[in-house]
Chain A
Amino acid sequence: MIEIENVHKSFGSLKVLKGIDLTVAKGEVVSVIGGSGSGKSTLLTCINGLEPVDSGRILVEGVEVHARSTDLNKLRRKIGIVFQQFNAFPHLTVLENVTLAPRKVKGMSKREAEEIAVKQLDHVGLGDKKSVYPSRLSGGQQQRMAIARALAMSPGYMLFDEVTSALDPQLVGEVLDTLKLLADDGMTMICVTHEMGFARDVSDRVAFFDQGVMAEIGPPEQIFGDAKNEATRKFLSSVR
C-alpha cells in the first residue's frame, strides 16, 4: 500500500504540491490527470524518494520514504518508475539494460538475471530485440524496454510518468497495451497520463490535480461522467 499524507513540496518559491492525501491499495490502478505544472510528475518522483518533500509523509508498505533511517536504494527495488523521456543506457544492449539492476542491486548471477530479463522482454513484446542497442529501437520500443527494465526488479509498485507523451501518435498504442497487460496482471500502478481513454478504461480510480492540489478523485465513470469539481469539468472539456 502507498499512503501519501498531507505532502507539501516547493521548488524555490514555487509551491508544486499543496497538501496531497492519497492512499493506493495493493492491486489498484490510479491514474493522475491534470494540466501541466499541476504537480502530478513531482508526486511520483517524491514517492520513490528521487525528490525530498517539505512536509507530510509518504509510506510504502509502512516504510516512510523520506525518513532518515530509510535505505532508499533498498526501497526503490520495490518501486519501479518509468519516465516520459526515453532513458535507455545507450552503451548497453537491450538485454544488458534489463539485467543491470538485478545483477548489481540484487546481486543475481548473470544467468539468473538473464532468465528474468528474457521473460520480461517477451512480456513487453521485445523478445527478438535482446541483443540490439537502444539506438536501434523506436521510441515506443524504448519505452517498453524501460518498462521491462523496471519490471525485472520485481517491484510491488509501478509509477508511470507520462510515458506516452514523447511518442509519435502511432506508437502510443503499443505502450498503452503493455500498461493494460500489467494492470490485468494485478500490478499496483500510479499512472500520470494525458491519455484519457486509457485513464477511463484501465483505472480503478482517477485523480484530477489542479495547481498542486488534488481537486477530485473517484471512479473513472464518475470523473468522466459526472465530475463534481468545476476545474475537473473544465479540464476534461478542454482535452476532449
Chain B
Amino acid sequence: MDQPKVIMSLMFFTMSLAFYFLATAFYIGYWLTRKDWMGQAGTSLTYVAGFSMTMILIFRAVESGHAPFSNLYESMVLFIWAVTIGYLWMERKYKFKVLGAFVMTVASLAMVSAWLLPFRFKNIEPLNPALQSKWNFLVKILEPLGLEKYAIGWLDFHVFATFIGYAAFAISFAVAIMYIIKIRYEARSKKSFLFDSFPPSKVLDELSYITIAWGFPFLTVGIVTGAIWANYAWGTYWSWDPKETWSLITWLVYAAYLHARVTRGWRGKKAAYISIAGFLAVIFLYWGVSFILPGLHAYA
C-alpha cells in the first residue's frame, strides 16, 4: 500500500505551530508590557494562524477524500481552528486583547498535544463501516459532479457541532480563570500592573456566559446528532457507552453553570468554578475517554 499523501497538511501544521507560539508570545508580551504594537502583532499572527489551520483542513479533505474530522489529530485541528475563529470574532466585537494571552495559550497547548500524537494518529486511515454515513440526498446531488465522496452525513455534522461546542468552552475556561484572578484583586482593591489591564470582573463574567451560551447549544446539537447517527449505526439512540455518558456529564455541568448564574449566592465565583470544572470534563471526554475507558467511540 502506498503512503497516503499527507505532506501538504503536515507542512501547514508545522507552520501553524510556529504561528501559534508567536501569537501567544506577542499576546503575553502585550499583557506584560502593555505595548500596543505587540497586541497588534498578536492579532495579525492569530489571523495568519487561523488561515493556516483552514489550509490544513482543506488539504486533509483533499488528501483523505472525506470530511477532515475522522481521527483524533484531525479533530484537534478542527478544535483549535474553532477556538481561533471564535477568539478572533470575540476580539473584533469586544476589543479586549489581553484575553488573547490566555485563550491563545490554551490553543498553543492544544497544538502541542496534537503535534505530540504518534504518526499513526496523523496518517489517513480508511473509514471503518460505522463511520461511513452520508446523507443520500447529498450523494445524489454530488454524484453527477464526481464529488460524491465529499458528501457528508450525520457523523460529520455531529463531530463539527461538538467541536464548535468544545472550542467555545475552551474560551470560556480561559476567561473564567481570568475572572477568578481578577475578582481577588478587585476584592482587595489593590493596584496591580498585571491585572488592572484585565477587563472588570463583571465583564469577564459576561464574556464567560456568552461563550457558554454558544457552546451549550452546539454541544447539544452534537449530542443529538450523535444520537441520530447511533440510531442508524447501532440501533439505539442512547446506549450509555462511556463517551456518551461523559458528554452527558459535561452537558449537565454546563446546565448547572447556566442555573448558577441566575441563582443568588452562586453567580460570579462559584459559576466560574463550574465553568472550569466543565472544561476539565471536556478534556476528559475528549482525551481521557479515548485512551482510558473502553467503548464504541474511536475518538470524537
Q: Do A and B come from one complex?
A: no
Residues of B within 8 A of A (CB): none
Residues of A within 8 A of B (CB): none
